[in-house]
Amino acid sequence: METTRTEGYSARSMLVPLALAQFIASYAATNMNVAVSAIAKDLGTDVHGVQIAITLFTLTMAALMVPGSKLTDILGRKPCFRIGLAVYGAGAVIAAFAPGLGVLIFGYSALEGIGSALMIPPIYILVTVLTHDVATRGRAFGVVSGAAGIGSAAGPLIGGLVTTGISWRASFILQAAVVLVIIIMARRIADTRPDHRPRFDVLGAVLSAVGLFFVVLGILQSGTYGWFRSRQDFAIGSVVVIPKGGISPVWLFVAIGAIILAWFFLHIRNRERAGKEPLLVTHLFRNRTANLGLVTQNVQWLIMQGSFFVISVFLQEVRHYNAIQTGLILTPATAGILVTSALAGRMAARRTQRLLVRVGFVVTLGGMVLLLLLANATSSLFLFAPGLLLMGLGVGIMLTASVNVVQSAFPENEQGEISGLSRSVSNLGSSLGTAIVGSVLVASATIGNAAFFAALLTCVIIGLIGLGAALLLPPGPRPAKEPAPASP
């Protein structure tokens, strides 16, 4: 049983700060894309350096989301949410005044990432425990998931306006200001605590975070060393570990990460067998519907974040557009997500979640294929619009549906753990999107048509994997039919 103090506020009034917090965290992942050139020039780095900062931000969220979810049960949902907001706001202020890439990574990638990992799990748990029927909960998840999609889609446009009109630094000041508003609004949120407070599995948290870090770090190395044969010596200090022409160090880092993650799964299984509470219960991974739903979540964020990064860099580096021009060109994708997110509740009431996820992937992939066929270094800007619009419509269709598929696969008493795992998988997708697709882009000698085509084609191939998982989803509950009007 949950211990809940409503403080006289309605669930709707409490939903506003929760959705706004999800919006700002998603915004932070994409607004940087349109400012890549400006940040690189100002901080004396290059596209790859800014790519690393963006990737590490989403990686920090992914690596700490499950521990953050567990902390919500230990500290309380509302306190954890407010602590996360405070850490995030501090990171935004530090990033705004960063004199170099290192400080930017500390403020943006580390502190904003940690803050997001603390404040996002309580959002989804609070939505679950503060709504008491399936229909209301579905609409609430639609609002929060829609806020996530809109934040990601609007990031390039808002970031472009702020960067061009003022500075890329002002975008971080804007985030800090919004966070302050959310902290004030968060007083409306009911303080909910589970009756049982679990012990924190420190070793499990460390193993999961370090394992994911090494996997993504390895993929990032492909931009420097290549995917298969190392383009240059890989050295640790003065010792050459892998000579030029040897196997790429990408696979060394990925292998280390995989070994640590295997150790993590053995650790949580052994804790369960010993009667101790693990960071994550293993039976979460034995639910076929949830597993396939998590794959679709991971892929949809991967292709969205990856494609936005690739298109933004292409427009800035090849077409030589500034931040606001880049954001305006991406507006059709923003509009598409806005439209379908607004209709998420209505679509969920008429169609199954499985069908919506499938349709979303098909429409998104159709948009990417249109971009491959129509958009290049010399094409009219209007030829970008059809593909971007379809991408936005497709992403908006499946964002809420995939969350509902996963969350609905478990009872209420396991919502905390599945919420953390779900958000971790989604943010890992964002991190992998920038890392994998970005590495394909920056690995080329020049960022031109060929590199753009290869990077976007990579998104399409990965998107097909997501569509395959969606096709394997078992039938879910059908939407309840609206009662027929009474006869006069």
* pLDDT tens digit sequence for 199-230: 777 888 888 888 888 887 787 777 677 777 88
pLDDT band for position 132 (cuts 50, 70, 90): low
Q: Which comes out higher in pLDDT, residue 344 or 263?
A: 263
Q: What is the mean pLDDT of residues 425-437?
A: 76
pLDDT band for position 262 (cuts 50, 70, 90): very high
pLDDT band for position 111 (cuts 50, 70, 90): very high
pLDDT of residue 220: 72
The DSSP string of 183-195 is HHHGGGS-EEEES
Distance CA 394, CA 367 (A): 8
* 356-406 pLDDT per residue, tens: 889 999 999 999 899 888 877 777 878 888 988 998 889 888 877 787 787
Q: Say yes or no to pLDDT of 90 above 90.
A: yes
Q: In the predicted model, what is the mean pLDDT of the chain?
A: 79
Do 168 and 43 contact (CB within 8 A), yes or no?
no
* H-helix or E-strand spanning residue 240: strand 239-242
Q: Say yes or no to pLDDT of 164 above 60.
A: yes
Distance CA 4, CA 130 (A): 8
Q: Say yes or no to pLDDT of 252 above 70.
A: yes
Q: What is the mean pLDDT of residues 132-153?
A: 68
pLDDT band for position 130 (cuts 50, 70, 90): low
Model pTM score: 0.71
The DSSP string of 154-166 is HHHHHHHHHHHHT
pLDDT of residue 476: 63
pLDDT of residue 127: 74
Q: Say yes or no to pLDDT of 190 above 80.
A: no
Distance CA 382, CA 376 (A): 12
Q: What is the mean pLDDT of residues 79-97?
A: 91
Helices (H), 31-167: 36-43, 47-75, 77-96, 101-104, 113-130, 134-165
What is the crossing angle of helices 202-220 and 415-432, to 10°? 20
pLDDT of residue 193: 62
Q: Which comes out higher in pLDDT, residue 310 or 226?
A: 310
Q: What is the mean pLDDT of residues 307-313?
A: 81
Q: What is the mean pLDDT of residues 302-327?
A: 79
pLDDT of residue 8: 38
Q: Which comes out higher in pLDDT, residue 412 or 475?
A: 475
